[in-house]
Structures are given as C-alpha cells and as structure tokens.
Structure 1
C-alpha cells in the first residue's frame, strides 16, 4: 500500500511544506491512504523466509524482505532521494482469537524520516479484525498513534466501529486528533471514513477542511509491471508465487494448492539442509536483532534503495 496511490503522490507531499504542522497533517493523511478494504475469505500468501519485493514508483524505491519465519517478521526500507524521504519498518503479526473473531495485531516500529527537515515520524500499524459471526467480514481496528519528537506534535486515529462485533457504529470510521504532545493541547479534530473523506476541524478558528479524499488519491492507480526481467531475483514475490497466481487467475484451485504446497515443501527442505550443516540463515538486505525490551529491530544494510526491475507506471 506504500506506493499504490493513484493520481496524487501522498508521500512526497509530506516534505513539501515549510510549516511543521502542515507537514504533520500530510503525514497523517498519508497514513490514512494506506488503509484499503481487505476481502473476506481471500487467504494471503504466506511469506517464505528470504522472500523479497523490490519495486519503484517514480523516484521512490521500495524494498521488503521476510527476515524471519517463526515468528513471521517483515522488514521494509524505502528511499526517495529527490524528496529526501526514508522509511524503515520492522514488524510482525500476532493473532488473537476471540471465538467469533480474530484480531491480528501488527507489532514493531514504523519510521518515516524527512531527511532535510531532521524529522522522524514514529507510528504503529492498525489491527486487522476478521469476524466470522454473526456476519463475516473484515475491518481495520484499533488506535494508530503518530508522533514527531522534533516538532512536538502527535496524533491519535481511532479506527473501526465502536462495537467489537461491528454491529454498531459507522463502518470504516476514523475519529481522532492532532495535538501538542507537551501540553496535550488539541489543535485539530479529525472525523470521517477512510474509504471516503476525512475532515479536520481547527479547534481555535472552527474552520473545517478536507484532510483526505480517497477518490482523489486512489483514482488512476496502475498495476506494477516488470521493466527488467533479468533483474528480477528468484526471491521476488512475483517469482516465488508465479505458478500459484497463474492457477488462481485460471480458477484452477487444485493446481493452486499443489503449487503452494510445492513452495512450502521446498522451504522445509532448505531448513533441514541448513540444520544438517549447522548453518544460520542471514537476511540479504537487513541486519536483524531482537531483545525482550525493544522487540525486533531491522537495520537496512544499504544507504539508499536502488531502482527496481519492477515499476509502477506514473501515467
């Protein structure tokens, strides 16, 4: 979702204003833009150890790697030298079962750095709520918190219906605020729906403006294409799951299952081989560490992400 916006480049907007509050509201709008509907009943591909995804859109280059399988930990590094932006994410999912639903918490850190401003925006990811009863469905839920220590600004975004089962409250609701962290002073109140519009109200003046318009942002989205076939690594997601994807598009579910089982069995073979040699798997693009106090930390091994063989067309 990081690079899958349409006619509006939400990420580059974050570094354009000379005003720190305007930059912060742009970051909040960008974080909302990453919320997309998740179809119920469509099982995601289970990432395999070492699986990567390398893609570019304009001057933004994005690189992801699955750095751990048990537990599943994903790392992301993205850079845009033109707009002086860097992103570092390291996160893993923790499912919690509640009988009629599963809430998947995404633990770990997300950092957005505006390099020429000297600002780092720290944020968490929303939870994905999967309901089985009484009505099957999915929702983004929980509270997303964003803070920038350098500007002293913070935000809270409360997502999802007020009821855990989704029986009451508005669907895809966003409620929240932007505030000064030191004085806990609310500057802007936020309200709306992440699949439509989210408005912000200036507490001092009462002025109401549109913070985020989903139709504007998502219109004209393009599908990534392979620009350099020779440059695509064997660990690239599109290559790892190519047979599974082809079978799904052909609605050959038995073949898709067989192809998925082949990928997973191959991983078991590689694991047994490493264990027999006493070898430890090492990520290609990140240095990974873990501590009980700080959790998982994934540091990129390169300063800038290079242009990718897979690109998202700009027009």
Structure 2
C-alpha cells in the first residue's frame, strides 16, 4: 500500500503496482464490499454509531504486500472517484514532505470526511516504522457528531521480511464523550503470537468507564459478544475502478499522470503470463 513510496526510494518498475499512492488512500473509502458508512449513520443510539465508526476506522488499514510500491504522487496530482452518492477527492498538497489531503461527501447519508496524511519514516536498523502524522475526521451531519482519529504506523521489517500496521489509535467524539483506544500489534522478531491483531476498548471519557472491548466487542454489562468488523466481507474480491472516458479526465488525475507507466507495467505483466 504505502511502503517504499513513503521514503522517496527509486525502485525499478518490477516492484511497482499500477496505481498511485493517492488511489491507495482513496480505495480505503470507496472500494468496499459492505457499506460501513451507512451503518455509522443509521444506528439510532450514539453508542451503536460509535461502534460502527470504530469498525469503519479499522477497515481503512488495508493489507500490505512487501516489496510492492505504488507511484509516489507528484505535487498537485489529484484522484477523484464518484460511487453512487459518495464523492471522494484527493490531492497531493506537498511533495517535501509528502502530504496527501482527502475530502469526501456522501449526499444521501449526509456524511463528510476530511483527512490530511503526512508519513514520517524512522529507521531502526533492520526495520523502518513510518508514523502517519495528521488526523481523520468523519462527520455524521444528521446527528451533529464529529469523530476524530489518528492512523497506525506502517512497520517494514527486513529480517524476516514483512509489513504490518502497528501502534495506538485513538477515536474521539466530543459530542457524545465516547472514546476508543485501539492497539495494532504484530509478530515479534522471534515469531511470538500477535500478528495482525487489534485490541482495545470503548469508554466514556467523562467517567473513564469501559463500555466495550474490541474488535469482537463484548458488552461488559451482559457478557454478550459480536464481531464488528470482518475483513473478508469488507474488502475481499474488490476490483480497482477503471476510467471509462480518458478524454474527460483532468491532466492532474492519477489515471492521466501515470497512464503511460501503468500501460508499460501491465503490458509487461501480460507478456510474462502468456509465456
């Protein structure tokens, strides 16, 4: 997903995937198999809406592939997708440091999203940890609620090779005083358990009383459990959207900026598969 594009490293085309870093960000919002945004907005109780927002937040961290790099966006590059009533627009607003901005609206659900991401890599010998600075905001305008959250870090390990999301994420809704603390963890160097695991809790900030444990939420009052996020249902079998009318695309769009490079990668891949 992010990987080497975060670090301004020049890689041969063999390691590129035919999409821009901006598109990878955008796909986490519009390329879904289950409408989690609708769940966020449709629940009657504030606690149920908050649980749905937590699930949606987790869905934004997509699986990563070691050694595969999207294109590093150029300054002013844009990526826009409309899917039903959802409109998503991203722009690379800074190149040094790399900063990506996102604004999205869903007219039917009356939802607005505002993001600003600035990955900052830190090198630790056999691993690199990219801290993603910036905030995400999800606004449920029908309910007058704004949910603010940060992002986990992307950990790149060279020995043994692998990638994973790590670190702490905090989600807060000022209007309801509900908060969540999530901890993303991975395997240790010796292979101890914990790969791709997320643990945490939902609590009332005014009383600090824990209401739920995550990701399979457990009601602390009655002990009942239920799954709030199933990655296979949400993101499996998804296809990258295709541009139907290249003539109608702005020159700054990712599809236009990288069209020649993408065609070269895809044609070379096709020849290899045909052998």
| TM bin (shorter chain) | 0.7 to 0.9
Change (3 A) 1:142 1:176: same
Are 1:250 and 2:267 matched, yes or no?
yes
State the number of aligned residues. Answer: 242
Are 1:2 and 2:29 matched, yes or no?
yes
**224-233 vs 90-99, which deviates more?**
224-233
Matches within 5 A, 1:187-198: 187-190=211-214, 198=215
Q: Which residue of 2 aligns with 1:209?
A: 226
Report SS of the residue matched to 1:14. helix
Q: Which residue of 2 aligns with 1:179?
A: 203
Report SS of the residue matched to 1:225. coil
Higher helix share: 2
**Distance in 2 (alpha carbons) for counterparts of 1:156 and 1:178:** 7
- Greater than 4 Å deviation, 4+ residue runs: none
Matches within 5 A, 1:1-315: 1-6=28-33, 8-133=34-159, 135-161=160-186, 163=188, 165=189, 167-190=191-214, 198-251=215-268
CA deviations on 1:157-178 (whole Å, 9 max, x unpaired) are 1112263x47322211011111
Change (3 A) 1:166 1:53: farther
Change (3 A) 1:126 1:166: farther
- Structure 1: any 5+ residue segments left out of the alignment? 191-197, 253-315
User: 1:105: how far off?
Assistant: 0.6
CA contact (8 A) 2:243 2:255 kept: no
CA contact (8 A) 2:75 2:93 kept: yes
Over aligned residues, Cα RMSD in angstroms? 1.5
**Distance in 1 (alpha carbons) for counterparts of 2:187 and 2:178:** 26
**Distance in 1 (alpha carbons) for counterparts of 2:253 and 2:161:** 33
**Distance in 2 (alpha carbons) for counterparts of 1:102 and 1:233:** 35
- Structure 2: any 5+ residue segments left out of the alignment? 1-27, 270-275
User: 1:35: how far off?
Assistant: 2.0
**Distance in 1 (alpha carbons) for counterparts of 2:265 and 2:100:** 25
**Structure showing greater Rg:** 1
Change (3 A) 1:151 1:166: farther
User: 1:220: how far off?
Assistant: 4.8
Report SS of the residue matched to 2:264. helix
**Distance in 1 (alpha carbons) for counterparts of 2:228 and 2:56:** 10
CA deviations on 1:133-162 (whole Å, 9 max, x unpaired) are 1x1010011111100000110001111226
User: 1:54: how far off?
Assistant: 0.3
